[in-house]
Amino acid sequence: MNQQVKMVDVATALHWINSGAAVVVDVRERHEFAAQHIPGAQLLPLSEFDPSKMPAVGEDKKLLLHCRSGQRCGLAAARLLATGYKGEINRLAGGILAWMAAGAPVECGATV
């Protein structure tokens, strides 16, 4: 794995989110996001992933990508790197499945 890309566990991700230190990007598809998602996450589905549409990540924030189980966010990270993305990219290990298994909060039924 590229040194720019790091895997983070649920506890670390939850700490970042609760402290306002993370920009969370969900790369799952729209129907998956609507079913449940991490509160505050921004949707950028892998099927239409365009690195130029990434939300701005300030120097005081961490980019956190996530998907269902942790695989698709790796593909998204690779696409970011291929376009010359210079910042650190964090991937949620185990995706939203690990997030929910840990009892972390989700929002359901959102329209996208």
Give 42's strand partners. 25
Cα separation, 89 vs 91, whole angstroms: 7
What type of residue is 105? P
DSSP summary character for residue 15: H
Residue of 63, 64, 76, 68 lying closest to 35 (CA atoms): 68
Backbone angles phi, psi at 105, to 5 degrees: -70, 145
Computed on alpha carbons and rounded to an integer, the radius of gyration of the chain in Å comes to: 13
Catalytic residue numbers?
67
